[in-house]
Amino acid sequence: MIELQDKKECCGCSACANVCPKQCITMEEDQEGFLYPHVDKKACVDCGLCEKVCPIINATSKDSPHEQAGYLLQHKNERIRKESTSGGAFTAIATWVILQGGIVFGAGYRNGTFIVEHQAVDKVESLSVFRNSKYVQSVMGDTYKQVLEHLKQGRWVCFSGTPCQTEGLKGFLRGKEYEKLIVVDVVCRGVPSPSVLVRYIEAQKACIGGHFENILFRDKYYGYHYSSFSIYNKDKKKDYHKGVDSNAYLRAFFDNLSDRPSCYDCRFKKRYRQSDLTIWDCFPIEQFTKEMDGKGTTRVLVQSSKGQMIMEQIAKDVRVISVHPDKLVEGVREMFHSVPMNPKRELFFKDCNQMEPVAFFRKWFPLTLKVRLNSYVRLMCHNLGIYTFAKRLFMKFYIRKDERVK
Ligand SMILES: Cc1cc2nc3c(=O)[nH]c(=O)nc-3n(C[C@H](O)[C@H](O)[C@H](O)COP(=O)(O)OP(=O)(O)OC[C@H]3O[C@@H](n4cnc5c(N)ncnc54)[C@H](O)[C@@H]3O)c2cc1C
Ligand code: SF4
Ligand code: SF4
Ligand code: SF4
């Protein structure tokens, strides 16, 4: 039976709740807004299945090498690429699965809300629900059971998620291989708390007003290199777009304040994964090729022969350049290292629960002169069309300075 001693020991994947034959595990929200398993001990028959499927209990620190291939990918459909976080690789993969009569699972907003949950889509035109990374933990519900049902019916199934969610699925399937299952994981920095997002939306509703139609965490409104947190309002005049420099929600995320505890000691940071394809951003495209533009590129690491087959099948919809996998993963910190927990995290959540939302975000992320100036300079660079150049220059200078210090 699952008995958690430390919150870092649970990534919230829900594999235990999905597998329990007595349905005596429920996922319950803690005071930080993250879900954890709660076992009804009276109903438990001590079969041990929950422990057998848990990806954290069974995590191995060994990164066992297998054959890999690396690619840079851009979707040829510019609308799809703009709506996607990076190059639109996921839509290309998912489209192929649906065209085989298959079904695709990923993270999207629950209809009419901003609650992020795993859901299924089997129409190409509905895939937009998955596009753009949602920087919040998605609710898994009984997704793993649904995946298994479809596999048993002989259907193609694509499951996408964070590495802990994809390993949770693999644990739930207990080592059984399914020819028609395609697993896609992302390189994952961490997942913020759903309750911080709820508070943030409350604060923004009080400040902006209107009717929020869509929220994007990685909008390309100012381009791929200066992505923004965007809120699209029914009244277009009230639309909101702010970058990581000045948006409170993104600042909390990138200051390592709002993540799930397990993310600060992530057991899934590795190169060789159980998935078929691993996807993530490629900002410094110029270091790889001059043939691709800077409007968004996905790095794709092929982890299996099935993953390689998919890359061949989607070739007509995408522009692809082959890159040696060693070069593809070089310097990708989030693939190998957890982010450090911010020492002020406990206080952050205490305030989040106790303070009125607008006051809370103003206290933690004040719009100081420095923040405003940073934002202004970035926007100026964007408007002058030199944002990417200026950023690169800054990084170069910054790295040199860093090396001098060492
Ligand atoms: C929480 C999170 C953290 C990430 N951290 C990094 C990082 O540190 N460095 C990096 O290079 N890339 C990171 N990525 C990956 C990156 O943001 C893109 O997902 C990737 O570049 C693929 O983009 P795309 O254009 O091909 O796909 P898109 O069309 O953008 O597809 C997005 C995919 O991500 C899935 N997804 C979206 N939100 C969630 C969620 N909350 N939980 C689980 N799955 C989700 C969707 O189901 C879909 O499969 C992260 C993604 C997420 C979701
Ligand atoms: S030991 Fe078996 S019955 Fe008990 S909670 Fe775990 S899966 Fe359910
Ligand atoms: S990591 Fe997943 S399987 Fe393990 S206890 Fe947490 S929710 Fe259950
Ligand atoms: S950082 Fe690790 S534990 Fe956290 S969501 Fe990503 S894969 Fe899961």
Write the CATH number for 151: 3.40.640
Domain identity same for 179 and 121: yes
Residues 174 and 106 in one domain: yes
Q: What is the pLDDT of residue 150?
A: 98
Q: Residue written as tokens 């089997």?
A: 122
Whether 317 maps to a domain, the answer reads yes
pLDDT at position 63 is: 84
Looking at the structure, tell me whether residues 227 and 200 fall in a common domain. Answer: yes
Ligand 4 atom having least distance to the Cα of 269: 2
- What average pLDDT does the chain have? 95
| Structural domain boundaries, residue 14 | 7-53
Residues 325 and 366 in one domain: no
pLDDT digits (tens, 9 = 90+) for 276-333: 999 999 999 999 999 999 999 999 999 999 999 999 999 999 999 999 999 999 999 9
pLDDT at 261: 98
* Least confident range of 23-37, 144-158, 290-304, 368-382: 368-382
Q: Is the pLDDT of residue 388 over 60?
A: yes
Q: In degrees to the nearest 10, what's the CA dihedral of 295, 299, 305, 307? A: -50
| pLDDT computed for residue 6 by the predictor | 96
Is the pLDDT at 44 greater than 80? The verdict is yes
Question: Of the residues 18, 22, 145, which should be mutated to test ligand 2's pocket, given the most ligand atoms within 8 Å of the CB?
Answer: 22
226 and 313 belong to one structural domain: no
Binding site membership of 41 for ligand 2 (Cβ less than 6 Å): no
Which one of the ligands is nearest to 172 CA? 3
Q: Is residue 46 within 6 Å of ligand 2 at its C-beta?
A: yes
Residue whose C-alpha is closest to residue 169's, from 194, 192, 140: 140
Rounded mean pLDDT of 54-65?
A: 90
Q: What is the mean pLDDT of residues 160-184?
A: 97
Give the residue, out of 54, 260, 271, with the most ligand 4 atoms within 8 A of its beta carbon, to mutate for a pocket test: 260
* Cα-to-centroid distance, 18 and ligand 2 (Å): 11
Residues 271 and 293 in one domain: yes
- Look at residue 245 in the predicted model and tell me its pLDDT: 92
Task: Give the Cα separation of 360 and 354 in Å (integer).
Answer: 9
Cβ distance 4 to 10 under 8 Å? yes
Separation between Cα atoms, residue 205 and residue 209, nearest integer Å: 5
Q: How far apart are CA 288 and CA 74, in angstroms?
A: 14
- Res 401 pLDDT > 60: no
Q: What is the mean pLDDT of residues 376-386?
A: 85
Mean pLDDT on 74-89 = 98
Residue closest to 249 by CA, chosen among 277, 290, 224, 218 = 218
- The minimum-distance atom of ligand 2 relative to the CA of 16 is 7
Alpha carbons 171 and 403: distance in angstroms, whole number: 43
Task: Verify that 151 and 226 share a domain, yes or no.
Answer: no
Residue 64 lies in a domain: no
**Token pair recorded at residue 202:** 């409350």
Q: Note the pLDDT of residue 400.
A: 47
Take atom 47 of ligand 1 and give the residue whose Cα is closest: 106
- Are 220 and 209 contained in the same domain? yes
25 lines ligand 2 (CB under 6 A): yes
pLDDT at 385: 81
222 and 188 belong to one structural domain: no
Q: Who has greater pLDDT, 387 or 23?
A: 23
Q: What is the pLDDT of residue 397?
A: 66
pLDDT at site 74: 98
**Distances from the Cα of 347 to the Cαs of 5, 8, 155, 247, 351, in angstroms?**
22, 18, 48, 20, 6
- Show Cβ contacts of residue 265 under 8 Å, excluding neighbours closer than 6 positions: 8, 338
Collapsing DSSP to helix, strand or coil, 16 comes out as helix
User: 1 lies in a domain?
Assistant: no
pLDDT at 380: 87
Residue 392: per-residue pLDDT: 73
Is residue 58 one of the residues assigned to a domain? Answer: no
Pull the structure tokens for residue 286: 């110029």
Closest ligand to C-alpha of residue 134 is 1
- Per-residue model confidence (pLDDT) at position 291: 95
| Section 128-141 average pLDDT | 98
Neighbour count for residue 39 (Cβ, 10 Å)? 19
- Decide whether any atom of ligand 3 lies within 6 Å of the 136 Cβ: no
Ligand 2 pocket member 384 (CB < 6 A): no
Q: Which of 319, 340, 331 is nearest to 263 (CA)?
A: 340
Query: Does ligand 3 have an atom closer than 6 angstroms to the CB of 262?
Result: no
CB 193 within 8 A of CB 137: yes
* pLDDT over threshold 90, residue 398: no
In short, whether 262's Cβ falls inside 6 Å of ligand 4 is yes
Does ligand 4 come within 6 angstroms of the Cβ of 352? Answer: no
Query: 336, 356, 373: which is the final residue of a domain?
Result: 336
137 CA closest ligand 4 atom index: 5
Segment 249-255 mean pLDDT: 98
Write out the DSSP string of 282-335.
Answer: ---GGGT-SSS-SS--EEEEE-SHHHHHHHHHTGGGEEEEEE-HHHHHTT-HHH
Residue 185 β-bridge partners: 161, 278
Domain count, the chain: 3
19 lines ligand 3 (CB under 6 A): no
Is residue 12, in this structure, part of any structural domain at all?
yes
The response to whether residue 263 sits with its C-beta less than 6 Å from ligand 4 reads yes
Q: In this structure, are 296 and 366 located in the same domain?
A: no
Specify if 300 maps to a domain.
yes
Higher-pLDDT residue of 28, 374? 28
Give a yes or no: residue 89 inside a domain. Answer: yes
Contact 231, 247 (CB under 8 A): no
